[in-house]
Amino acid sequence: MSYRIERRDNTTASKHLNKEEMQQAKYGILRRAVSCDMTYLDRRDHYHSIYYNKMVCAPGFEIDRTSGGLSYKVGDYYLSSLLGRGGGGSVYEGRHRKTNKRVAIKVVTKSRTEETRAAQGSNRRGSAGKDVNSSVAYAKKIQRTRKEYTVMSHLRDHRHITKLLDVVENDKAICLVLELGAGGDLFQHIQQKGRLSLYESWFLFRQLVSAVAHAHAQGFVHRDIKPENVFLSEDKKTATLGDWGFADVWCSFKDLKEGVGSLNYCSPEIVGGLPYTGPEVDIWSLGTCLYAMVTGNLPFAADSPKQVVMNIKTSNFVLTGSCEADPLLYDLLSRLLNPNTLERAKMADLLEHRWFRNGPTLAHIKDRRKRTGSATNVLATNNRHRTRVN
């Protein structure tokens, strides 16, 4: 079956169909419905500038005609703008069709689309091996997604853990319907402010630690704690920890061996390929998040991934600005970012630390004047090495 798709807008923005640019007032033929994927319709202007003579459904979704335009529906939810895309899937803002409640919907496809096969050159030599590798990768991603919603189901009652509201699954995709962080993520917040005041850092850090401590007590480790996975309420005063795709069960008598996470936030044992129990890698990542909040930078950033790994293994970091005048903060960071797992702070040590319990001193709380930290440092370094270990 073929579908006639016509472009009727007057913008100069580039639009594509089947990887080929579409000109204004021109139409193209879409041979198969599955080759029209949301990957190529994720920018808002696409929804208004492409006219469908015959509505085409992307894999795993239905088309809703009631809104008068192109709207994707999955289960009882309508999808709107793309919030982000990563190795674990794409996240869209959505709303419930009856209550209009705003939600975040994480979409994990179960296989490659026809466009992806074409983009990767499935007709070229060696494509069979790539297809096999891709199938294994997708199977692993689906397995992680199932584990993610299992973990989140166990942790859903904690105030500072992103709530799993619903799971919608069909033969093409798994969709996790999640609580929406209307205030964006912590990474964006740091980027906008340059760095956070010591008081705000302490206030949000306590919430993040509360979530991690609860998960550890329930027998789970997150393994990918970073500012991008911490979501804020609209007033920026409530933080929730999300993206549990790399979470796993931990116990004191069994080591984990899988090297996962995001490079700048990984512990020495992860980057070194060593076995670990679990909680210690989360403790390390909490230290890197705290450092990013109070300085606006990453503690081990470098010009190459190799140098980042070297910096992580030696754990050489420097506090800058007013932060260096707070000895309790430096002591806490030194304990959290200790490369020796036997000497690194345990969760109990963190919860009892004076800086964590009492916060920065009055003199440091007054550090609310206009800050001079660079608003691009943490963004530039993190984007340069967003590499996942696995």
Tell me the DSSP string of 250-301: -BTTB-B----SBGGG--HHHHTT--B-SHHHHHHHHHHHHHHHHHSS-TT-
- 91's CB contacts (< 8 A; 6+ apart) are 82, 83, 84, 85, 104, 105, 106, 107
Tokens 């007054």 identify what position?
366
- Identify the CA nearest to 281 among candidates 261, 264, 267, 299: 267
For 58, which DSSP code? Answer: P
Nearest-angstrom CA–CA distance, 235 and 100 = 21
CA contacts within 13 A on the Cβ side of 231: 19
- Residue 106 assigned to a binding site: yes
| Residue 290 C-alpha from the chain's centroid | 17
Six-digit token pair at 367?
A: 């550090």
Nearest-angstrom CA–CA distance, 286 and 202 = 12
- Identify the CA nearest to 160 among candidates 205, 198, 93, 196: 205
| Residue 11 C-alpha from the chain's centroid | 32
Six-digit token pair at 370?
A: 């206009």
CA contacts within 13 A on the Cβ side of 294: 30
- Identify the CA nearest to 290 among candidates 193, 181, 195: 195
Give the distance between the most distant pair of CA atoms in the chain.
71
Tokens 């309508």 identify what position?
78
| Residue 226 C-alpha from the chain's centroid | 8
The residues that are catalytic are 224
Coil, strand or helix at 20? strand
Annotated binding site for ATP: 106
